[in-house]
Structure 1
Amino acid sequence: MEPQEEFITTEEVEQEIVPTVEVEQDVPVDIEGENDDDDEMMNDDEEALEVDMSNNSLTYFDKHTDSVFAIGHHPNLPLVCTGGGDNLAHLWTSHSQPPKFAGTLTGYGESVISCSFTSEGGFLVTADMSGKVLVHMGQKGGAQWKLASQMQEVEEIVWLKTHPTIARTFAFGATDGSVWCYQINEQDGSLEQLMSGFVHQQDCSMGEFINTDKGENTLELVTCSLDSTIVAWNCFTGQQLFKITQAEIKGLEAPWISLSLAPETLTKGNSGVVACGSNNGLLAVINCNNGGAILHLSTVIELKPEQDELDASIESISWSSKFSLMAIGLVCGEILLYDTSAWRVRHKFVLEDSVTKLMFDNDDLFASCINGKVYQFNARTGQEKFVCVGHNMGVLDFILLHPVANTGTEQKRKVITAGDEGVSLVFEVPN
C-alpha cells in the first residue's frame, strides 16, 4: 500500500516548463575528422540514418571507440579522464582547443565505469565492470601517470568515489552488495584496505561520503541498495552507524539507486543529511547524524496507466548550495525542483527523454539527457538559458569546469560531456 497522501499531484506544481527544441546557434561540424569521405561514413547497403548535426560545442575528444560512461577532472590541473565501453581510459587536456591527448590507461577487463582523481590530485582511481580497480600515480607534475597498484575483489563494481577532503581515500560498491574503502600509500601507491562491509543483500547501487568537513579523523560513508536498505558506515572501524530497512519506510519496497549529500548551507551546518531515490519513485531524506532519522518520505510521481514502471526511477539528485532547492531527475524526462523548506515542488521541467545527471551551480541547474543535450536552467525561475547540442546519442555523464582565477583573460564555464556515441564534447556556457 503506497502512501497516497504523500503523492505530489500536478495541481501542487507551481509551474511546468517544457524546454524549447530550437537552439539559436546551429553549426554543422564533422566530429569524426575533416578527412572522412561520405562513402566511409555510410555504406550503400545500410539504411540511411537521419542525424541532427546541430552543434554548438567548442571542441571535442573522439578517441574512444565505444560509449563514454564516465568522466572525471583533476582538482588542480586542466586534465580530463574518460572511461569507456572500449575497456580503456583516456587522459586529455581541458584547456586547449582541440584537446591534447595525454595518454591511454589499459589493463581493464570490461567497460570503465568510474574515473576519479584523489582530492589532493596525486592519484587517479579507475574501476571497470569486471571488478578491477586500477590506481595510477601522477609523475612529473601530473604530466605522466604510472600504474601503481590494482586489485579485483568483486565480480562487478557499480560505483566508485574518492573522498572529497581526505587525501588518497576511496570507496566502492559492488553487485554482490559489498562495500569497500581503501587508502593509497603516498610513497608507492600501494593499497591499504580500511574496511569491507557485507550487509546489503543485493547490488550496492550508490555511496556518498558524509561529514566530510570534520577532518581526517572522521571517515564516514552512506550506501544504498536495490534491497531497500540504506546503511551508514564508520570506514575506520567497519562498524554500522545505522541501517534503514523497509520497516522504517512504511514497509514500502524501495530499490534505492541514487544518493546525494545536502550542502551544510541548507542544513545549519549538519553535513550528514542525504537524499535517496529509488527506481520506483520513492524519495527519502535522511539525517545520518541522528541515527538515520527520516526527515521526508514521498512518492514523487503518479504514473499514468500507459507509462512504464521505470519511468518513475529517480536517476539523479542535486542540492543547491545557494537556495533552498533540491532537484530530482526521472527516467520519464521530468525534473522536479523542490523547495526544501516546505518540501513542495516549485517547478517541473519536462525533457524529451530520460534525465541522466543533474548539477546545481550558483543560480543555475544543469541537466543532461538521453536525447543528447545538456540544458542550463535558471534554478529560481525555471527559465531555460542555454542548451548544449552536438551529440546524436545520449549524454551519460558530464562535468562543469569553472574559469581559472587570475589568468587575466575573461573565461566562461565549460560543460564537458561523456557521450553514448563515444565522443566527449566541450561546451562554453555563455552566461
Structure 2
Amino acid sequence: MSEEFNNEQHPIQEDAEYLEMNEVEQVYDQNQDDVQPEDMDDDLDMEDDRVEIDMTNNSKGYYDLHKDSVFNIDSYGGICITGSGDDTAHVWEINNNAINTQTNTDGEPVERKSLFEIKHNESVIGCYLTRPKGLYLISGDMNGLIKIYKTIKKGTWELIHEIQQVEELQWLKINESVEGMFAFGGTDGSVWVYQLTKNDLNLVMSGFSHQQDCTNGEFINYSEDDIQLLSLSVDGSIVLWSVYTGEAIMKWTESNFKSHATPQWISLQISPKSDAQPQRLAAVGSTEGALTLLNLQSHQVLYFNPAVIENITEHEEMSDLSIESISWLITPGKPALLVVGIVRGDLIVYDIPTFKIRSQLKLEEAITKTYISSGTNNVDKRLFVSSMDGKVYTYDPYQIANEQSQWIAHGHNMGVLDFAVDEKNNLLITAGDDGVSLIFEL
C-alpha cells in the first residue's frame, strides 16, 4: 500500500473506469395477545399468516427504555448514548445498568434507568460523547437542533449550548482527535464546524459549495493546525475543506468522473493514518452503487466504478444497490483492504491498490454498517457487519467465505441500525429497530 499508484503498474480495466491512477432473557416483549375464538372467526386463514420469529439470543445485557427505534449509538468510557425515533437521546452505563443485572440479590427484577435523558422535538439522528476526554454530550435531531451538555460529574450533565443552523440535519460527526470539535451538514447543502473551548462555543467554519443535500462528512487530521473536512452531496459533488480557513481546497464534480450520470454520494470512509500508507485516501459510495477512491493530497481520482453491482433482477430497484457503509483495513505486511456494504446485502472486499475483488458474499437482508476493529487487547482485527435481519456478523477480513462467519450476535427481532464496539472491555453494543440495545461479550 506504500507503493505509488500509477497507470503502468495498474492498467485501466474494462469492468471499472480509472481516472489518473498514481444468555439473557428476551429483552423485548415477544408475547402476543391470546387468540380468542372470535378472532379465529374473523380470519380463517390465520395459520397461513403466521410469522416465524428467531428467538435466539446470545447477548449478556440490554437497555430497553426507548419507545421507538434506536437509530444511533456511541460508547466511550463505559457509557453509552443512544438516539431514538422517540425524540430522545439516553445516556446509560453499560456495567451497572445492563450487563448481568436482570435480578438483584433477592431475585427481584432490577429497574432499568438511564443516567440522563436529552429531550428533542424530532428523531435524534446523531449523538456522541466527545473525545478524548469525554467532556461533552452532543446530540442532533432531524429538525436541525443540536444540544450540547457539559459533564459536571458522573451521571450529571448541564445544558450549555443549543444550535440550529439548518432546517433539517443530515449528519453529525465529532472529531475524535480534538476535544469539542464537531461538524454537521443540512438539506440546504451547507456544512458547519464548531469547537468548544472552555465551554465557549465557537463557529470555526461554514461552507456553502454544495447545491443540494449535504449527506456526509469526515474529519482528516494532519496536525494540530492542519485539519480538513471532506463533505458529500446528492448533487454529485465532493468538497475538501480547510477547517481553520474555511477554504474549499478541492471540489470534485461530474467532470472528474468522466461525466457519468451524477452519483448521489452518501457514504464515506477516510483511510486510517498509517506508516504503511502515508497518503490519506477517501472511499466514497453512492445511492446507485457508484464507488470512487480519491487521493486527498494529490486530489487525483484513483478509481471510479459507476456500478459495483451490475446485474439487477426484475424485482430489484436502483436503491437496492446503495452503498451504505465502507471500511478500511491497513495492516503492515498485508494487502490493504476496502470493505463495501450494500443495501441488497452484498459485502464486497477489494484489494488495494489493484482494486480487484478479493472476496464477496451476500446476506439475506440489507447491510446497515461495517466496522473493522483496531486489534487492541483481546479483540483481534475483525470485521463486524450489521444487517436488517437483526444480527451482527463477524469475520476475519482476510478470510471471508460465503456464510462462514466467525461469530454472530443474535437477539433482535428487527434490524440492527447501528452498533458500537468497546474494544477495551471486549463488548459489542447494538442499536435496534425494535427499540432495544443489546450488549454482547466478544
User: TM exceeds 0.5?
Assistant: yes
Identity of paired residues, percent?
Answer: 38
Deviations, residues 19-58 of structure 1 (Å, cap 9, x unaligned): xxxxxxxx6833137xx97649999959765422111111
Match of 2:233 among 213, 221, 225: 225
Q: 1:89 maps to what in 2?
A: 89
Structure-to-structure mapping, 1:5-20, within 5 angstroms: 5-7=14-16
SS of structure 2 residue aligned to 1:371: coil
Q: Is this contact kept in 2: 1:6–1:297, CA < 8 A? A: no
Match of 2:201 among 146, 169, 191: 191
Distance in 1 between the 2:35 and 2:341 partners?
A: 35
Deviations, residues 255-283 of structure 1 (Å, cap 9, x unaligned): 0000001123376322x311000111111
| Counterpart amino acid of residue 260 in structure 1 | Q
Match of 1:312 among 305, 315, 321: 321
Distance in 2 between the 1:395 and 1:334 partners?
A: 16
Aligned length: 390
Q: Is this contact kept in 2: 1:126–1:134, CA < 8 A? A: yes
Cα gap change, 1:62/1:294 in structure 2, threshold over 3 Å: closer, same or farther?
same
Q: Is this contact kept in 2: 1:266–1:321, CA < 8 A? A: no
Q: Is this contact kept in 1: 2:276–2:330, CA < 8 A? A: no
Match of 2:277 among 268, 276, 281: 268
Q: Does residue 1:109 correspond to 2:121, yes or no?
A: yes
Distance in 2 between the 1:384 and 1:335 partners?
A: 12
Q: Is this contact kept in 1: 2:218–2:270, CA < 8 A? A: yes
Cα gap change, 1:202/1:148 in structure 2, threshold over 3 Å: closer, same or farther?
same
SS of structure 1 residue aligned to 2:297: helix
Q: CA RMSD in A?
A: 2.4
Cα gap change, 1:40/1:105 in structure 2, threshold over 3 Å: closer, same or farther?
farther
SS of structure 1 residue aligned to 2:274: helix
Deviation of 1:7 after TM superposition, in Å, equals 4.4
Distance in 1 between the 2:351 and 2:28 partners?
A: 43
Distance in 2 between the 1:84 and 1:198 partners?
A: 29
Which has the higher Rg, Structure 1 or Structure 2? 2
Q: 1:154 maps to what in 2?
A: 166
SS of structure 2 residue aligned to 1:247: helix
Match of 2:301 among 294, 311, 316: 294
SS of structure 2 residue aligned to 1:264: coil
Deviations, residues 348-387 of structure 1 (Å, cap 9, x unaligned): 0211111100011243111000111100011111141001
Q: 2:107 maps to what in 1?
A: none
Q: Is this contact kept in 2: 1:88–1:104, CA < 8 A? A: no
Q: Is this contact kept in 1: 2:416–2:430, CA < 8 A? A: yes
How high is the TM-score relative to the length of structure 1? Answer: 0.85
Q: 1:60 maps to what in 2?
A: 62
| Counterpart amino acid of residue 73 in structure 1 | S
Q: 1:365 maps to what in 2?
A: 383
Q: 1:79 maps to what in 2?
A: 79
Distance in 1 between the 2:416 and 2:35 partners?
A: 22
Structure-to-structure mapping, 1:22-421, within 5 angstroms: 29-32=25-28, 39=33, 49-74=51-76, 77-96=77-96, 97-98=99-100, 101-119=113-131, 120-140=133-153, 142-186=154-198, 189-210=199-220, 212=221, 214-252=222-260, 253-265=262-274, 268-270=277-279, 272-290=280-298, 292-298=299-305, 299-306=307-314, 307-322=316-331, 323=334, 324-361=336-373, 362=375, 363-382=381-400, 383-404=404-425, 413-421=426-434
SS of structure 2 residue aligned to 1:248: helix
Q: Is this contact kept in 1: 2:26–2:411, CA < 8 A? A: no
Distance in 2 between the 1:53 and 1:43 partners?
A: 27
How high is the TM-score relative to the length of structure 2? Answer: 0.83
Distance in 1 between the 2:95 and 2:270 partners?
A: 29
Distance in 1 between the 2:166 and 2:37 partners?
A: 42
Distance in 2 between the 1:257 and 1:339 partners?
A: 22
Q: 1:410 maps to what in 2?
A: none
Q: Is this contact kept in 1: 2:116–2:156, CA < 8 A? A: no
Distance in 1 between the 2:214 and 2:59 partners?
A: 36
Distance in 1 between the 2:382 and 2:362 partners?
A: 16
Q: Is this contact kept in 1: 2:393–2:409, CA < 8 A? A: yes
Deviations, residues 183-229 of structure 1 (Å, cap 9, x unaligned): 1132xx3421111111111111110101x2x3321221000110000
Q: Which runs of 5+ in 1 are unaligned?
A: 9-26, 405-412
Q: 2:3 maps to what in 1?
A: none
Tell me whether 336-345 or 302-311 shows the greater mean CA deviation. Answer: 302-311
